[in-house]
Chains A and B, each alone.
Chain A
Amino acid sequence: MSSEFLAAKAKMPNLGIGLGLRRELATQTFASSASIDWLELVPENYMNLGGHARSRLDEAKSKFPLVTHGVNLSIGSTDPLNVDYLRSLSNLLDYIDAPWWSDHLCFTSVDGAYLHDLLPLPLSSEAAVHVAKRAREAQAIVGRPMLLENISYYMHMPGSHVAETDFICEILERADCGLLLDVNNVYVNSVNLNFDPYKFLDELPLERVVQIHIAGHGRSDEVLIDTHGAAVIEPVFQLLEYVLKRCEVKAIMLERDQNYPEFEEILAELDQVRDMVKKFQPQMLNKDLSKNAMQKCRP
């Protein structure tokens, strides 16, 4: 089956090793442009906002290539797509000239009410068809390649009757979009739901992976929670290595959203990722960030 997305992926720029732009870390992040290749930002924190947010965005844009990673597209919701949201997002993506954009494979709103949390979808054919249709529409409105991220989740949703990997495959192929593979989410789910994370990775359409997230997690009672509030653990690095040996990736990003350590610790984690990338995918560090390359990846 031909895929416009895979053709577009081949032309996407290699961004390298990145960090999430967070208000609390912004000053140190901006001062470390020699050690950080690119930044990922949460668009909802910058869309239609002035003041410090706008100033931070402008500074980030002047120093780094940027992509967005949204939290409220609500691709799995049965609400109508929020076209105002997509237009605002599109304006932001134009402003930062992002080579791609991403959000989560989940729902975050019901009947127009936002939960501001990433909520799991039932793993069903109905949901897969529904999400894929909306993903195509969203991608068409925005006009840039879209990636969907596999989420961590903490309950079995009623109505689920297919394997998660089949669910993800069906959506990505029907929507012809990319995968933002979060290896920490794979790890967290594998522990909570008791499955083999390597088998899970083998069953994913890894050729559609453009970007990878790595992060740390916490524990609440018997459950691992994807907090982004701790250092990345070795099993997650091992999953990253496993993926890097199997598919071409354009960018890797470290997520750290709370319980911030000394910034040097974050930079050390980025260096650890960089060493791995040098070994398995050195081309990712050959950045071709000219405007021409950024333009070429548009579908």
Chain B
Amino acid sequence: MIKVSQPKLNDIENKLYRLWTNRQERAAFIEGGKGAEQKDDSDSVDNFTKSIDGKGVMLYSSLIELGRVDLMSSIFPVLKDLVGKQFKTLVLDYFEQLPPNHYNLNQSASRFAEYLRTVEKLNGRYPFISELADYEWIELAVLEDDSHNLMRSDSKVMAESSADPARFAGLKPVLNCAFIARHYNYPVPRLLAEIQAGQKLPRRFKQEPTYVVVYRDPDTLDARFLEVGEVAYRMLENVKNNPHTTYGELITAACSAESAGKNKDVQALLTGCLEAIDQFKNLAIIVAEI
């Protein structure tokens, strides 16, 4: 005898969620009229499943999928070009594996690089793919970063600070709040440019440590990308992790680390650090000094 009972709100929402977002469960529902996991369940649940409007399920699932693919296409246009027709499948699988956990739509894309690390076949062909996804994602992360739209200090005043070595060494650089530094194993900026230009990529990719800084321009609020050397990258990471570090401490740490390794030319290192700091000020990666 078929039990007739009203399904609970929670059961309805959960069931519809799975049908709208899980391709396997939806296919089983459309083919067999019920979800795969419910074959052994009670008659009342089976009856509930049978009462679900199949056309409606298909319409909503297509609207949800369309929205997801559109979003990811807008955030990862180069990766989409790279993988071609696979992109849609990757996106839908990603959303099944790591469903959005934030109310902000764009945040749905924040774990795509993490997901791509788990797709073995794709990593075999494109070992840099997760780094490429990260590189495309961090542009949006910087653009939307919650930090205040800081105005940079008077660049003339900042430039003059370098002229007095004693005073300069005691100053603390203030980093642009909307700033991300990355160390990639592959030359992602170059690969991205090659994909964008439609160049044929090699069959094999050689690892090549690459250091990238992405930050929000305080004047235009646009994202800026800058490839930097390892020493400059470490200096910026140092400032970020230790906001009260002075220029003197920063340069000393950079020179000590380098001279302990292969680079013994301390004077050249010092000059390089000072030049990098000047460049960071000019580009508004360092926005103030205190």
Residues of chain A touching chain B, judged by Cβ–Cβ distance below 8 Å, are 44-45, 47-55, 72, 76-78, 82, 85, 107, 110-117, 119, 121-122, 124, 126-127, 130, 154-159, 161, 220, 223, 225
Contacts and interface: CB of A to CB of B under 8 A. Distances in A.
Interface in B143-157: 143-149
Given A116-B100, A116-B108, A117-B63, A55 B149 contact: yes
B236 interface: no
A155 B103 contact: no
23 contacts: A44-B103, A48-B146, A51-B221, A53-B144, A82-B103, A111-B17, A112-B101, A115-B64, A116-B64, A117-B63, A119-B16, A122-B12, A124-B6, A127-B9, A154-B59, A155-B53, A155-B55, A155-B57, A156-B56, A158-B12, A159-B6, A159-B7, A159-B48
B243 to A, nearest CB: 18
A72 B60 CA distance: 17
Given A51-B149, A158-B7, A117 B144 contact: no
A156 B53 CA distance: 6
B188 interface: no
Given A126-B9, A155-B59, A115 B20 contact: yes
Interface residues of B, number: 46
Contacts of A220: 59
Contacts of B51: 158
A297 to B, nearest CB: 26
B104 A50 contact: no
Contacts of B15: 158
Contact of A114 (B13, B56, B108, B144): B108
A124 B149 CA distance: 47
B36 interface: no
Given A77-B13, A154-B59, 11 more contacts: A50-B144, A50-B148, A51-B142, A51-B216, A54-B149, A111-B17, A114-B108, A122-B12, A155-B59, A159-B48, A161-B6
A78 B101 contact: no
A51 B57 contact: no
A117 B67 contact: yes
Contacts of B101: 112-114
B53 to A, nearest CB: 4
A33 B21 CA distance: 42
Nearest to A109: B103
Contacts of A54: 148-149
Interface in B107-154: 108, 142-149
Contact of A50 (B10, B48, B149): B149
Nearest to B103: A72
The secondary-structure label for the interface of chain B is helix
Q: Which of A53, A116, A225 has the most CB of B within 10 A?
A: A116
Contact of B67 (A112, A116, A119): A116
Nearest to B10: A78
Contacts of B145: 49-51
A51 B178 contact: yes
Contacts of A116: 64, 67-68, 71, 100, 105, 108
Interface string B70-84: 010000000000000
Given A72-B103, A78-B9, A50 B60 contact: no
B262 interface: no
Q: Which of B12, B14, B57, B221 has the most CB of A within 10 A?
A: B12
A119 B60 contact: yes
A221 to B, nearest CB: 9
B99 A113 contact: yes
Nearest to B6: A159
A115 B9 contact: no
Nearest to A221: B59
A155 B149 CA distance: 44
Nearest to A161: B6
Nearest to B55: A155
B144 A49 contact: yes
Q: Which of A51, A78, A225 has the most CB of B within 10 A?
A: A51
Given A49-B144, A119-B60, A107 B13 contact: yes
A258 to B, nearest CB: 10
A161 B4 CA distance: 14
B204 interface: no
A126 B16 contact: no
